[in-house]
């Protein structure tokens, strides 16, 4: 039986561990903190993407579109519908016009209902659609994996060394067949051109029935509900990123040095930006506090958020995409192992000539 050591107790590490265990493999998951989902997986906008966010990247749309329905099937209690979920393309400020946006989403096979901009309490909008995107429930996800992974969790245990050996791999001296680095590049980095982005989202208290409003595509902003029906996150493409770092360590230092003055300055800018499209924002919402995290992003102008897996010897490293692209990671890892272990099948001689000889003899005897 293969033995896997997984580094990182976020969505990726937990889902990979759960899937490998379900297949009967032996698994240990190492998480440096005392609880799961302590980093990016517990500090984000909690949106179960379907692809509507990614007008400029087809692979991300397709992975999200497919991943979303699989996610609902596999983890039915860990997300909930958002009753009124609006994606809107503003006049002038978007990188794509509304007709192009609608065409891209239609051709991806995404379902939506168009909404007349005049029927929404929004301003400066060229066109809008209502989608069935959902919101993730962090509290339930954390407790689901804490209880289902139970005895394979090694909490409060930061991994320090992973050494590739000819047979297997050693994690802090313990032998495994494979190691999976699911730390989103925080343990050893990923063998791809990436940067680390410290981020600031803002939590707000607001009316329970307020719609999710996402302005697309480009340097825009969104307000999205959370698992608490009066709590929302406000995110902004220009004002949420707090820098662009070459290493995870630099990004952690930048995140940990954020001051209340910086939060206040960004809050003003983000409220000004959302008020351009949601004019009642300042009257309806009350600032509740900041949320800090780090994103690991590939370089490039197309907004690629798809998931990639790399293999070096017996170590896999995962460049995570969105939360609903977790399925891709584990399937890719299994496919790489199967290709390596089942490689002998490729050297089986063809039986076609035997078939030709057999059928020829049969025909000659007729």
Ligand X SMILES: Cc1cc2nc3c(=O)[nH]c(=O)nc-3n(C[C@H](O)[C@H](O)[C@H](O)COP(=O)(O)OP(=O)(O)OC[C@H]3O[C@@H](n4cnc5c(N)ncnc54)[C@H](O)[C@@H]3O)c2cc1C
Q: For 180, what's the count of Cα atoms within 13 Å in the CB-facing half-sphere?
A: 32
> Do β-strands 315-319 and 178-181 pair in parallel, antiparallel, or remain unpaired?
parallel
The partner residues of 89 in beta bridges, in order of sequence, read 127
Per rule CB under 6 A, is residue 63 in the interface with ligand X?
A: no
- If the CB atoms of residues 28 and 49 are measured against ligand X, the closer one turns out to be 49
CA–CA separation, 360 vs 309, rounded Å?
48
Q: Could you say whether residue 232 binds ligand X (CB under 6 A)?
A: no
Q: Which helix (H) or strand (E) holds 135?
A: strand 134-136
Candidates 41, 63, 314, 317; binder of ligand X (CB under 6 A) is 41
**C-alpha atoms less than 13 angstroms from C-alpha of 279 in its C-beta half-sphere:** 6
- Residues 254-313 touching ligand X, rule: CB under 6 A, are 293, 295
Peptide bond into 326 cis (omega under 30): no
Query: Distance between CA 320 and CA 187 in Å, rounded?
Result: 14
Name the residue number minimizing CB distance to ligand X.
10
Closest to ligand X by CB, 42 or 117:
42
Nearest alpha-carbon partner for 176 in 337, 309, 343, 332: 337
201 binds ligand X (CB under 6 A): yes
Stretch that binds ligand X, among 88-96, 125-133, 182-190, 330-338 (CB under 6 A): 182-190
Of 61 and 117, nearer to ligand X (C-beta) is: 61
The CB-of-353 to ligand X minimum distance in angstroms stands at 49
Q: Tell whether residue 6 is a contact of ligand X (CB under 6 A).
A: no
- Would you say 67 or 90 has its CB closer to ligand X? 67
Min CB(76)–ligand X separation in Å: 17
Are 223 and 233 within 8 A, CB to CB? yes
Q: How many residues bind to ligand X according to rule CB under 6 A?
A: 35
Residues in contact with ligand X by the rule CB under 6 A:
7-13, 30-33, 38-41, 44-47, 49, 158-159, 182-184, 186-187, 199, 201, 293, 295, 320, 322-324
């Amino acid at each position: 039986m293969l033995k896997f050591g997984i580094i990182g107790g976020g969505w990726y590490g937990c889902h990979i561990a759960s899937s490998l265990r379900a297949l009967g493999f032996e698994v240990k998951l190492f998480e440096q903190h005392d609880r799961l989902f302590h980093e990016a997986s517990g500090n984000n906008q909690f949106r179960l993407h379907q692809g509507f966010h990614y007008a400029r990247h087809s692979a991300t749309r397709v992975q999200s579109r497919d991943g979303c329905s699989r996610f609902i099937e596999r983890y039915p209690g860990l997300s909930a519908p958002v009753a009124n979920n609006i994606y809107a393309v503003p006049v002038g400020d978007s990188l794509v016009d509304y007709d192009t946006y609608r065409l891209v989403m239609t051709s991806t096979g995404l379902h939506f209902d168009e909404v007349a901009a005049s029927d929404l309490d929004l301003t400066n909008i060229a066109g809008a659609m209502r989608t069935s995107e959902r919101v993730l429930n962090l509290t339930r996800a954390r407790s689901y994996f804490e209880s289902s992974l139970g005895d394979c969790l090694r909490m409060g245990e930061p991994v320090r060394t992973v050494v590739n050996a000819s047979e297997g791999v050693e994690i802090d001296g313990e032998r495994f067949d494979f190691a999976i680095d699911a730390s989103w590049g925080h343990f050893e980095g990923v063998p791809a051109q990436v940067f680390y982005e410290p981020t600031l989202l803002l939590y707000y208290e607001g009316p329970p029935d307020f719609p999710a409003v996402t302005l697309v595509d480009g340097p825009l902003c969104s307000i999205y509900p959370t698992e608490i029906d009066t709590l929302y996150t406000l995110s902004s493409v220009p004002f949420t990123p707090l820098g662009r770092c070459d290493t995870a360590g630099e990004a952690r230092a930048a995140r940990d040095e954020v001051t209340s003055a910086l939060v206040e300055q960004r809050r003003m800018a983000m409220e000004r930006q959302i008020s351009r499209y949601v004019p009642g924002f300042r009257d309806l919402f009350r600032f509740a506090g900041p949320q800090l995290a780090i994103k690991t992003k590939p370089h490039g102008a197309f907004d690629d958020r798809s998931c990639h897996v790399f293999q070096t010897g017996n170590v896999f490293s995962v460049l995570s995409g969105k939360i609903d692209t977790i399925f891709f990671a584990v399937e890719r890892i299994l496919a790489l192992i199967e290709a390596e272990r089942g490689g002998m099948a490729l050297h089986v001689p063809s039986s076609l000539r035997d078939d030709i000889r057999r059928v020829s003899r049969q025909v000659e005897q007729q």
